Amino acid sequence: MSRNSIFTIAVVAGMLGLCWTMMNTQRTRAADAAPGAIYAQLSSPDSQDPKDAPLLVSMTSNDALGGLEHNDKAKTTDVVVKTAGVYFMVAAIQVGKDQAGETGDYLDIWMKQNGKDVDNSNCRQVIHDPKYTTVLVCQGIAECKAGDVFNVAISASAPGHGIGIKAIKPKGEPVVPSIIFSMYKVN
């Protein structure tokens, strides 16, 4: 076999490997993640409104997942750290409400680690008009141990007005998720 033939076979094999990788990156499982690649992007196509108490936000779509644990069918509120380290997290929610009120109603969002509120993580958005929506971002960095569980929590000042996180399904466009949550290991 000539050098050109061996080179051609190597190039074709490499391209097939790249194509296989690209085909399978849409829903990477934690066990398939490359060494050192620890990340999650989770979302929800469903609106979620807190009632009388804070609500843990469900994320029912694993858009990308490697090295972290999240079940998009059961325990959809829990993101579990498998490897100790420092992690960066961002929760972006689409805030809106269903009814008008006399005053602005607000929605709060914060992170929880192992069932406890994370200090200084709360963010608030006031909504006056039910025709108005906005994105509220909550982010942070946390030192984590293997087995730590993270959640995103929301609460509302006036649950009777339908304030919460709203999914929007525009015709001919991708869904605007009620939440997009991203997390990755920085060291």
For residue 30, what pLDDT band results from cuts at 50, 70 and 90?
A: very low
Least confident of 6-15, 31-40, 75-84, 165-174: 6-15
Q: Which residue has the higher pLDDT, 43 or 14?
A: 43
Cα 6 to Cα 9, 14, 16, 17, distances in angstroms: 5, 12, 15, 16
- CA 25 to chain CA centroid, Å, is 17
Mean pLDDT, to the nearest integer, of 66-71? Answer: 97
pLDDT digits (tens, 9 = 90+) for 126-181: 998 888 899 999 999 999 999 999 999 999 998 878 899 999 999 999 999 999 99
CATH of domain 33-185: 2.60.120.40
Two structure tokens written together for 34? 């490359």
**pLDDT exceeding 70 applies to what percent of the chain?**
80
pTM equals: 0.79
Annotated domain spans of the chain: 1-27, 33-185
CB proximity list for 171: less than 8 A, separation 6 or greater: none
Two structure tokens written together for 156? 């509302």
The mean of the pLDDT values for the chain is 85
For residue 16, what pLDDT band results from cuts at 50, 70 and 90?
A: very low
For residue 21, what pLDDT band results from cuts at 50, 70 and 90?
A: very low
Model confidence at 28: pLDDT above 90: no
Model confidence at 114: pLDDT above 60: yes
Cβ atoms of residues 155 and 51 within 8 Å: no
Q: Is 143 exposed, middle or buried (0-12, 13-18, 19+ CB in 10 A)?
A: exposed
